[in-house]
Each structure stands twice: as structure tokens, then as C-alpha cells.
Chain A
């Protein structure tokens, strides 16, 4: 995490040494771009804070922990798609699920959709890619997540 600050500071320093005006211009561009996308980020944050209230971690543990069947699989894909959490929360959670005896397949369903399918990031993604591409990209991501989930299930001997 701190690495990005070091890299940014070093890059800025090197840039200033080579060309002060270009560096100034870079910071202006950064500021303008950030300001332009800020409303979309705020909308995403508002969505995130509501969804995480409605679907808290305990609920994910409860649903996935109780149902290791097809219903559980569906739940894992849905929870992963509609929520958003950083890796340092998601994987310890996945670890808890493993200890509870949840199948690797359902954990894969949850973690892969969590990474790839972004319903909550929609406001931000739409600004950059446009509505059509955003929807297409997320549908493809869901399909890939489902394939990965089944391959994990096969590899761990949980299907057939």
C-alpha cells in the first residue's frame, strides 16, 4: 500500500527534475480527471454503503455456510456480484468459510464474482466505457466466473 506513495513521489521528483512545466501540466491533468469522475465515485460510495448494510459479511457466511448445494452456489454467485470488499476482508472471510466446511466451488463462485463482476462499480465503469460496453463486459465476466467456479469444483472433486 505504501509502495504506491513511494512510486508516485519518486516519479514526480524525476519528472520535476526533467521538466517542471510538464510536471505542472501532469498535475493539472490529474486534478481535472479526478474532479470529472468524482460524482461517479460518490455515487458508487453511496451504493456501496447501502448494499453493505443490507448484505453484511455475517449474512454471506450464514447463507454460504448453510447451503453447499445448488442453492448455495447461486447464493455465492449473487453475493459476489452485488457486494464489494477489499481482498484483505474477502479472503479471511473465505478462510472462515473453508473452516466451516463450505465447498471450494462455492467459495470460488463468491470470490471470482467479487473480483470480476461489478454491479456497485457500474456508475464509475459507465463513465469510462459507456453503458453498452459496461453491461457486456460484466455479463462476460459473470460467464467466466461461472466457468472458473465449475473448474474449481471439478478439480477439488466436488462435482460428479
Chain B
């Protein structure tokens, strides 16, 4: 783990803040501590499983397979696959980033991974069902049919904008 000095400083400051707050009963500190624990727990529930699946993906899925379905010649089908994959993503966009990153390093093109990230934010199935039950099917359908085409168009545009010489960092995240 690459723990930079700056990171160590931030984490020790934060930990001391929580400890002191707990000790002297400083209410804002206690609320922040509870927020931290709540979100940390929800991430601990998802991240290990998600990363094991990413690990399995890295060793088992051939580069040619990813290139065929998500690469330069995948055409319109690539976008459809990206959206289907996105709808099954759990957690939040923070789970979609490492998946998109692995896809990219296996040969997926930029427009596909941007579509995947955007769609993972917008159409995760459990979340969408929840939305329907609280806001109604009309709301959800309008939202999906407006946002998804815009996601695809903007992903293609962003792909062109950054150009082919742009490289995602390869520090093995």
C-alpha cells in the first residue's frame, strides 16, 4: 500500500478527532463518527466481493473477448452490453470505477467505459425499482429515456475530445 505522508497525516488527524470527540462527548464529532461508521460498513459489505469478481475477471476473461464486445469494432452492440452490465452493478458509482478501469485495460474503448459508468449511476436495477415504487413509473421512464441517449452521445463526444493519445493511469489500481 502506497501510504503517502500526506495521507498518513490526514488519517491520523481524523482518527484523533474521532477519539477526542468520543472522549469528551463533542456532539458534532460523534455525529461525524456515526456517519463514518455507517458508510464504512456499507462499503466493507460490497468492496471485497466486488474486487474478487474483478480479480476473477482479470484472470479468466481473454483480452480478445473484451475487445470484441467493448472494443473499437464493437459498434452499437458495445453500448447495449455496457448498459446491461451497468444495470447489474451493485453499490454505487464507486464500484463502477474499478470495473470500468479493468475493462479499459482489457481493451474496451473510452466511449464504452463512459457509457458503463454513466449507466451504472442511472439504471442499477434494485435502485430503479425502488425509485418506481416511490416516484411512479412515469417519472422513472422519462428519466431513463432522456438520460440514457444523452449518456451515449456525451460518451462518444468525450471519447473524441480526449483523443487517442490520452492514457488512463496504469498504476495497477
* Bound Cα distance A47, B172 (Å): 24
* Bound Cα distance A8, B48 (Å): 10
Q: Is the CB of B135 within 8 A of A98?
A: yes
Q: 8 Å CB contacts to B: which residues of A8-46?
A: 8, 11-12, 15, 22-23, 25-39, 41-46
* Bound Cα distance A130, B173 (Å): 12
On whether A29 and B43 interact (CB within 8 A), knowing A133-B162, A136-B158, A152-B143, the answer reads no
The bracket for how many chain B residues form the interface is: 35 or more
Residue in B94, B101, B131 whose beta carbon sits within 8 Å of that of A44 in the complex: B94
Q: For the complex formed, measure the closest distance between the CB of B95 and the CB atoms of chain A, giving whole angstroms.
A: 10
On whether A111 and B131 interact (CB within 8 A), knowing A36-B171, A124-B94, A148-B146, the answer reads yes
Residue in A7, A37, A48 whose beta carbon sits within 8 Å of that of B35 in the complex: A48
Q: Is the CB of A39 within 8 A of B121?
A: no
Q: 1/0 per residue B134-153: CB within 8 Å of A?
A: 11001100110011001100
* Bound Cα distance A35, B47 (Å): 11
Q: Is the CB of B2 within 8 A of A39?
A: yes
* Bound Cα distance A145, B56 (Å): 34
Q: Is the CB of B98 within 8 A of A29?
A: no
Q: Is the CB of A53 within 8 A of B35?
A: yes
Q: Is the CB of A91 within 8 A of B36?
A: no
Which 3 A-B pairs have CB atoms at the shortest separation, nearest pair first? A30-B55, A26-B55, A49-B35
- With contacts A37-B173, A94-B131, A141-B118 known, what are 16 further pairs, Cβ within 8 A? A22-B60, A23-B59, A30-B52, A36-B172, A36-B173, A45-B36, A49-B36, A49-B39, A52-B35, A87-B124, A91-B134, A104-B135, A111-B131, A115-B122, A116-B147, A125-B93
